[in-house]
Structure 1
């Protein structure tokens, strides 16, 4: 069956995105830790809200209710930053470290300007590494030479700069793709794929690790986990590439692997799906064992199966990831192996073969009651294409529809370059319609975490708030709210539940302190909350009034 109007770069996920089979779903109680660089992240103008003030220790405070038109306060707003073939970053091979770093910080600054709160950065595009890995060579997409030292640690830099802007950092990996060519001898001599050619097959002019080889599965998990263990990641992210997308006239050359490892499976498709399941589950368990506060998510192709094939499928008629990539994404959600599912629903509203307005409620129903967050992958790269995508309002219309489906907790845009080029106007509309107020990243309750103590806040007389942590564990960052007029006595500030009162967030420094420059306004009361790295928010600070 034909792909439903995918019209996307052949390299995404670029698009994108051991192991007992009966282990319990992933649950992860714990507390967490965090420190980051000091930075200021103003993202909105002062918004008036009902006058209120915080009691130091509110007791039995009635729950706050937002105005019906209030936007969500917790919402994932992210973009993919693709490294393969230099789609987004690095923008070209062989740049100086200074140029590479400047290009990335430019993308991050644009993300903040667009109201985003997370970045999904590709750090292992083709069985290579954007960090000094003991398992795999330096990525050719950094220097133009596989194994070439870029002169700094790109992953360390990328994480620190994201956190300085209070952007969550999700490390994006392509698990099985080895090379964008089919010559294993063109890999560096000590490449694991070259040293273990029985782990590799060629298909469609590219090289892949064979998911059916147990040693290859275990190796890719170990290679990816090195970055989880050694860097301050917020998330681990896979795209939609497991077994490769079908190529006309070609058959995946894994018959010998099936003969050797496929006992117990009468159907090679079932065996392939089990291989992918083992890797997904194994990575989930590995992350949980090492850093249970790090979220694990996958952005599969937007159609699991069509209802004409499977009664549990969606009312669509497109390519099916269950059958073509052997990716049983619905099962991963139902089994609780993921913290979030981020399907690439890369089609317009009303497309007969794959209607956005059909797929969103289908995925919402899949995720309902599972504890798995649902974020929607948005095709910013398609803006300007013929048909519905010629209308720059199409992306904003997707978010309008999402607001009617509370199970959708955010959106991720492919990709960063599109948001500054073909989709620039469309994103300006999204910002105006949906992102004019900041949002905190959604809280995933089963990951544990603590609610910080309210911070201590003083105005420094120079148009800034000096923020210090309260007792106990220092927070990851602070959220700042502004209200017109003097504080009312004896009331908790219900207005802070409405994100339209939020000026922005600022990362806590190593000592837990921060400085936030406020707009020059008279007769304004400010409140600050402390926020855990998993986005649990404290009660408000005592009010700070600036006449």
Structure 2
């Protein structure tokens, strides 16, 4: 097999012209889709956003995605995981966002958290091997990033009857929440770590950093679970056990402002801890957040609001700012995170939460920052057998969303929810199956086109390469040629990868490259037809 060497070089790339060929219309009415007052014209091919970051959330709570059952043998677990990653490769996935801490537990050997019941069948018992290092290695073998997904505050995932003490007694003796009841509160029938409790905050930070230090992960990932819904606030205006902390710590601040300051403190704490680790160890671990799709609406947050203007939709939409006390817009503007993945789980024609308006708003938010924007897509709705909305019977709905994202240079990729929609073939809906066929074909042809046109290097032009970089990469044959897939783990300043083909064991003998690939994300593809 041909050997490949990939070098890094800071130069500029010529960008090809792109034509527009398709007016986006409602699947139900045929009327043009209008975003920010303009009809939408889609490009005829997938562009830079679609060819950038392509992640998949792997949901472990309730064994929803993986593993499909608890208590698998090591051999069974490894076989199912490898099969899942191999399916992901068909759709050019380059990042696995794996839920390593679904509910106060761990999919790895930990000194702080009990082993997950979704791994062994019983929380804190039955673990004979540590799967996390294996999962990371298999992802990296395929040129995929591995993002460790944590649920920071959630203690219990299902409803329990009874009070806090009774529920805590059902957890394993190793569970931190059970041993630190003063750092836990009850909301409805579930338990959560107190966002306002410094001891709980330290524990969350320690949990995250244990994984950062012990495993070769590419990123830490939080999803949309912050404060529980404000619908669970008591009639006195406070969550359980919150009023005393507010009275002693808030110093007269508005209670909702104070709550947001508590989640702010956690996000800053995690960011600075990871930054410090990266600086000392020469690493490049990222920190990303995936909030609910709507930060706030223009109805509640007008153009002159101190916190910023909301998205131009109306009707009391559920939002991170107002319902979960998580100011995700602020985290972007302050640079407290490296990337954000809003869960825009709606269609273009959804009246109360239209996909286009929300995505356009987020693209404007990240503009001028160093925060990458990836969009979260609701593949699970396309795969549902019981679709609540006509637009989800359109097999091109998500494909059109990807092409719409390409209209915005500040969007760097997408993430699909959930993993089952990409690898559980036996249970695919017809719409999902057709979408995946189109996606695989279009991505392959787009990568081929990019390989042919995305470089400004003349065929015989030589380049002086100052530094070679050790990378994780994979090569596989496709009908278009040899697909090279790699992960960018270089922490220095650079803008492009320069690609050479080596057919002997001596290394690169010529300074004439095959191509250049612009740095947009951490993971990359190149198709070599030679």
Q: Same fold (TM over 0.5)?
A: yes
- One of 298, 310, 313 as aligned partner of 1:313: 310
Q: Paired residue for 1:270?
A: 257
Equivalences for residues 20-31 of structure 1 within 5 A: none
Q: Equivalents in 1 of 2:275, 2:144: separation in Å?
A: 22
- One of 49, 54, 64 as aligned partner of 1:87: 64
Q: Paired residue for 1:9?
A: none
Tell whether the 8 Å contact from 1:477 to 1:532 is kept in structure 2 after alignment: no
Q: Equivalents in 2 of 1:254, 1:225: separation in Å?
A: 28
- One of 201, 204, 211 as aligned partner of 1:227: 211
Q: Paired residue for 1:118?
A: 95
Which structure 1 residue ranges, 5 or more long, are not aligned?
A: 1-37, 42-55, 440-468, 483-499, 517-524
Q: Paired residue for 1:424?
A: 433
Counterpart check, 1:415 vs 2:399: no
Q: Equivalents in 2 of 1:112, 1:545: separation in Å?
A: 19
Q: CA deviation at 1:351?
A: 1.1
1:239-297 per-residue CA deviation (whole Å, 9 max, x = no partner) reads 00001134468563143453465332432211110110000111011111112511111
Q: Equivalents in 2 of 1:481, 1:281: separation in Å?
A: 43
Given the superposition, is the C-alpha separation of residues 405 and 284 from structure 1 closer, same or farther in structure 2, using an over 3 Å criterion?
same
Tell whether the 8 Å contact from 2:114 to 2:124 is kept in structure 1 after alignment: yes
Equivalences for residues 1-400 of structure 1 within 5 A: 63-68=13-18, 71-72=47-48, 75-181=52-158, 182=160, 183-247=167-231, 252-259=239-246, 261-291=248-278, 292-311=283-302, 312-317=309-314, 318-383=317-382, 384=384, 385-387=387-389, 388-400=391-403
1:1-58 per-residue CA deviation (whole Å, 9 max, x = no partner) reads xxxxxxxxxxxxxxxxxxxxxxxxxxxxxxxxxxxxx9999xxxxxxxxxxxxxx999
Tell whether the 8 Å contact from 1:438 to 1:504 is kept in structure 2 after alignment: no
Tell whether the 8 Å contact from 1:156 to 1:231 is kept in structure 2 after alignment: yes
Which structure 2 residue ranges, 5 or more long, are not aligned?
A: 20-44, 161-166, 303-308, 449-464, 489-499, 504-511
Given the superposition, is the C-alpha separation of residues 306 and 65 from structure 1 closer, same or farther in structure 2, using an over 3 Å criterion?
closer
Q: CA deviation at 1:474?
A: 2.5
Given the superposition, is the C-alpha separation of residues 177 and 535 from structure 1 closer, same or farther in structure 2, using an over 3 Å criterion?
closer
Q: CA deviation at 1:473?
A: 4.2
Tell whether the 8 Å contact from 1:402 to 1:408 is kept in structure 2 after alignment: yes
Length-normalised TM-score, structure 2: 0.74
Q: Equivalents in 1 of 2:293, 2:186: separation in Å?
A: 26
Q: Equivalents in 2 of 1:336, 1:229: separation in Å?
A: 22
Q: Paired residue for 1:487?
A: none
Q: SS of 1:229's equivalent?
A: helix
Q: SS of 1:371's equivalent?
A: coil
Q: Equivalents in 2 of 1:89, 1:116: separation in Å?
A: 17
Q: SS of 1:186's equivalent?
A: coil
Q: CA deviation at 1:436?
A: 4.2
Q: Equivalents in 2 of 1:39, 1:127: separation in Å?
A: 46
Tell whether the 8 Å contact from 1:304 to 1:330 is kept in structure 2 after alignment: yes
Q: Paired residue for 1:520?
A: none
Q: SS of 1:150's equivalent?
A: coil
Q: Equivalents in 2 of 1:375, 1:81: separation in Å?
A: 16
- One of 433, 456, 463 as aligned partner of 2:442: 433
Tell whether the 8 Å contact from 2:168 to 2:177 is kept in structure 1 after alignment: yes
Q: SS of 2:273's equivalent?
A: helix
Mean alpha-carbon deviation: is it higher for 70-79 or for 195-204? Answer: 70-79
Given the superposition, is the C-alpha separation of residues 530 and 353 from structure 1 closer, same or farther in structure 2, using an over 3 Å criterion?
closer
Tell whether the 8 Å contact from 1:212 to 1:257 is kept in structure 2 after alignment: no
Q: Equivalents in 1 of 2:79, 2:300: separation in Å?
A: 49
Q: SS of 1:177's equivalent?
A: coil
1:93-119 per-residue CA deviation (whole Å, 9 max, x = no partner) reads 111111111111111111111111111
Counterpart check, 1:476 vs 2:467: no
Tell whether the 8 Å contact from 1:479 to 1:530 is kept in structure 2 after alignment: no
1:170-223 per-residue CA deviation (whole Å, 9 max, x = no partner) reads 110000001124411001123211111011111232111011111101111111
1:337-394 per-residue CA deviation (whole Å, 9 max, x = no partner) reads 1111100000100211111010011000000001111000000111141321111111
Given the superposition, is the C-alpha separation of residues 433 and 271 from structure 1 closer, same or farther in structure 2, using an over 3 Å criterion?
same
Across the aligned residues of Structure 1 and Structure 2, the Cα RMSD in angstroms comes to 3.8
Q: SS of 2:155's equivalent?
A: strand
The count of aligned residue pairs is 434
Q: Equivalents in 2 of 1:534, 1:153: separation in Å?
A: 29
Q: Equivalents in 2 of 1:209, 1:72: separation in Å?
A: 40
Q: CA deviation at 1:162?
A: 0.4
Q: Equivalents in 2 of 1:62, 1:413: separation in Å?
A: 31
Counterpart check, 1:405 vs 2:414: no
Q: Equivalents in 2 of 1:39, 1:88: separation in Å?
A: 36
Q: SS of 1:102's equivalent?
A: helix
